[in-house]
Structure 1
C-alpha cells in the first residue's frame, strides 16, 4: 500500500474529507494512466489479453473492452 493511500485512510478518522477525496481522485487518475501505459507496453511486447487480464485480476473480455480499441 502506498504512503498516499495510508495517509488518506488515516485522515478518514477526522477533519474535512473533501481534500482527501480530491487527493484520491488525483491518485486514481495517475494509477489509471499508469495502468493504460503498462497494458500498451505488454501488448507491444506480445503479451496476450489473457495474460494481461490475469495480471490485473479481471476477465479477458473486461481488459479487451477497456483497452482493446485504443
Structure 2
C-alpha cells in the first residue's frame, strides 16, 4: 500500500473493499496526525482553545480534552 495521501485517496475508492478499508484507516490516522500538528502549532502561536475549536468545528471543551494534555 502506498503512503502518499493522493495514493491513499485513490485506494480508498478501490473496488476491493478490503483495500479501500485499509486505505481509509490509513487516511484517518494520517489526518489525525496532521490535525494534532496543526493544533500544536496554533497553541505555540498563542491562539486560544476557542479559536482552534472553531477552526476544526468542535467545542472548546472537546479540543482541549483531546489536545490539552499533550
Relative to the length of structure 1, the TM-score reads 0.81
Deviation at 1:16? 2.7
Q: Which consecutive segments of 4 or more residues in structure 1 shift more than 6 A? A: none
In 2, Cα distance between equivalents of 1:48 and 1:21: 36
Deviation at 1:7? 5.7
Aligned residue pair count: 64
Relative to the length of structure 2, the TM-score reads 0.81
5+ long unaligned stretches in structure 1: none
Q: Which residue of 1 aligns with 2:43?
A: 43
5+ long unaligned stretches in structure 2: none
Q: What's the C-alpha RMSD, in Å, of the aligned pairs? A: 1.7
